[in-house]
């Protein structure tokens, strides 16, 4: 297999391996159910990523089914499943991946740094090497599309790393990943590491060198660029840079760096960049994890200009303060003004432009919500539509908010009366609280009998104006599980109740999936 492809003008094509559904989902609060994973996978298909890592099949029955469903459904990208270097993991991975045929990729790994071998694996280097070779050979017995990762490669002794890479390529690995698992390295060091392998592994040209960088020191994108300059042909990344701890290399940032600085970086990707913003927004709507306003490429302020000097320059020529166009990343002003007189066709078309492909039942529910909201607002914005889709795209909920009434004031104790539907049965109670939100949450706690701890509460406005919807994001924790809930309404107390109930439902589903897997 060639180390990388080239197009006609001799630009080297860098493969994009998206691990949003695996590494990205592992971060606290980012867990997704099968249908949510499929929605993200369909958007990744629109993005035209080269590889989708759909999950860790042996981790749970839910993860196995998600990888299997993605392998059965998604056309175009290769579908990868992660597995440790043992027979049971590899067999289970292929059981899910086989539905993708020759586009199924077994991705197996073992740690190679001294610190991991000594304290985590408790294995000598020679045994680690033997284990890796055996794992790759077993994976290659199922498919020639095998990727091997040297976990914690950035802290691995270079001679041993080179020995490992040579051995797994000889065993059948066609992609070898050199990850900075803990976000420890810096660009020049990482460049030299990749170059060392290029210079010291005799069969290195028989495999694609991949890199997987974490952002613990804020250098994941810079390190990935350095690795590509040294000869890497694949970059592993996630939408919005989500992932373990400080996250992964941000797909949108890496891709747009190559596109914007092609003058000094003669590399390109196959990514449809106009799908970057829809992908970012879809992921945010599913996970409830908002992108910070100053986030590069997809942040709310990425193309906003407030300074008078900047505004003047933009009026004269946009290139004065914009190095890329909003349209190039899919940030387009809507040509349709949606309001109470808008029809279903215009509504559906705008949702499709935003990256949402809803089935008829979900579309009907979302349209009803849209018409109800349009009666309260003069104009419905894209952000309002995202909030509606978020509410209507959830799993079958155990808890549903039926009614909420809150009274409060400067000289009155806040009181909340809440009625829920719990597993199809109505339940109602009233509680006092230190403010209307506290009273509402106490009533919900009483009805659901939850012991979940609220660790974060954020409130914001989805759009401008006094008729704007409020958006509330909460993070709750119980029994070692952390989830994020999101709710929106023109009434901020209702939005708060929705967010808390959403979190409790996600917690219930997560606990249920894990208990079913035991």
Question: Residue 489: its pLDDT value, please?
Answer: 87
Q: What is the mean pLDDT of residues 41-51?
A: 97
- In 3-state terms the chain splits into helix, strand, coil percentages (rounded to 5) of 45, 20, 35
Answer whether 0.85 is exceeded by the pTM. Answer: no
The secondary structure of 325-385 as a DSSP string is -GGGGT----SS-B-TT--HHHHHHHHHHTT----HHHHHHHHHHHHHHHTT-S-B-HHHH
Percent of the chain with pLDDT strictly greater than 70: 89
Does the annotation list 23 as a binding residue? yes
Q: What is the mean pLDDT of residues 237-243?
A: 97
458-469 pLDDT tens trace: 898 776 666 677
* Top mean-pLDDT range of 291-305, 320-334, 388-402: 291-305
CA dist., res. 379 & res. 463, Å (int): 10
- Tokens for 47, please give them: 């993005």
Domains located in the chain, CATH noted: 12-287 (3.20.20.70), 308-392 (no CATH), 399-517 (3.30.160.270)
Q: Say how many Å lie between the first and final Cα of the chain, rounded.
A: 40
86-115 pLDDT tens trace: 999 999 999 999 999 999 999 999 999 999
Percent of the chain with pLDDT strictly greater than 90: 64
Q: What is the mean pLDDT of residues 196-222?
A: 98
Mean pLDDT across the chain: 89
Question: Residue 464: its pLDDT value, please?
Answer: 67
Q: How confident is the model at residue 422 (pLDDT cuts 50, 70, 90)?
A: very high
- Tokens for 380, please give them: 């419905």
Q: How confident is the model at residue 346 (pLDDT cuts 50, 70, 90)?
A: confident
- What stretches of 232-306 show up as alpha helix (H) in DSSP? 251-260, 276-287
Does the annotation list 305 as a binding residue? no
Q: Measuring CA to CA, which residue among 262, 230, 260 is closest to residue 4?
A: 230
For residue 246, is pLDDT > 50? yes
371-408 pLDDT tens trace: 887 777 666 777 777 777 776 665 567 899 999 999 99
Q: 357 versus 215: which is more confidently predicted? A: 215
């Amino acid at each position: 297999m060639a180390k990388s492809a080239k197009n006609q003008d001799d630009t080297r094509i860098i493969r994009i391996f998206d691990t949003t559904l695996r590494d990205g989902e592992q971060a606290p609060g980012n867990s997704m159910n099968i249908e949510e994973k499929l929605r993200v996978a369909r958007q990744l298909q629109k993005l035209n990523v080269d590889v989708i890592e759909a999950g860790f099949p042996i981790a749970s029955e839910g993860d196995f089914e998600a990888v299997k469903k993605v392998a059965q459904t998604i056309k175009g990208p290769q579908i990868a499943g992660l597995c440790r270097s043992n027979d049971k993991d590899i067999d289970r991975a292929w059981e899910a991946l086989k539905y993708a045929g020759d586009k199924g990729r077994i991705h197996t790994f073992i740690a190679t740094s001294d610190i991991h071998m000594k304290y985590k694996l408790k294995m000598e280097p020679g045994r680690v090497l033997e284990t890796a070779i055996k794992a790759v050979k077993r994976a290659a017995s199922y498919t020639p599309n095998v990727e091997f990762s040297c976990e914690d490669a950035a802290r691995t002794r270079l001679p041993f790393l080179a020995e490992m890479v040579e051995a797994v390529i000889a065993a059948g690995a066609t992609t070898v990943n050199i990850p900075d698992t803990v976000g420890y390295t810096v660009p020049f060091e990482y460049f030299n590491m990749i170059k060392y392998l290029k210079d010291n592994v005799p069969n290195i040209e028989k495999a694609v060198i991949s890199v997987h960088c974490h952002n613990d020191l804020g250098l994941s994108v810079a390190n990935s660029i350095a690795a590509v300059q040294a000869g890497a042909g694949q970059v592993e990344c996630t939408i919005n840079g989500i992932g373990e701890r400080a996250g992964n290399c941000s797909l949108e940032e890496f891709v747009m760096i190559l596109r914007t600085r092609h003058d000094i970086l003669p590399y390109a990707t196959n990514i449809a960049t106009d799908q970057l913003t829809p992908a970012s927004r879809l992921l945010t709507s599913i996970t409830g994890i908002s992108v910070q306003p100053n986030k590069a490429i997809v942040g709310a302020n990425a193309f906003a200009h407030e300074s008078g000097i900047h505004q003047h320059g933009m009026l004269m020529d946009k290139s004065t303060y914009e190095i890329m166009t909003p349209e190039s990343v899919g940030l387009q002003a809507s040509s349709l003004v949606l309001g109470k007189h808008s029809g279903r066709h215009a509504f559906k078309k705008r949702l499709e432009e935003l990256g949402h492909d809803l089935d008829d039942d979900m579309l009907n529910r979302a349209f009803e919500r849209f018409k109800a909201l349009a009666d309260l607002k003069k104009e419905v914005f894209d952000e309002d539509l995202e909030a509606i889709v978020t509410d209507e795209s959830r799993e079958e909920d155990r808890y549903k908010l039926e009614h909420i009434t809150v009274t409060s004031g400067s000289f009155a104790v806040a009181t909340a009366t809440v009625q829920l539907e719990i597993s199809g049965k109505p339940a109602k109670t009233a509680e006092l609280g230190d403010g209307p939100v506290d009273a509402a949450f106490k009533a919900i706690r009483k009805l659901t009998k939850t012991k979940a701890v609220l660790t974060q509460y954020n409130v914001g406005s989805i759009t401008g104006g006094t008729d704007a919807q409020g958006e509330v994001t909460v993070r709750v924790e119980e029994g070692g599980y952390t989830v994020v809930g999101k709710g929106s309404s023109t009434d901020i107390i209702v939005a708060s109740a929705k967010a808390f109930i959403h979190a409790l439902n996600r917690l219930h589903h997560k606990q249920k999936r894990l208990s079913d897997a035991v």
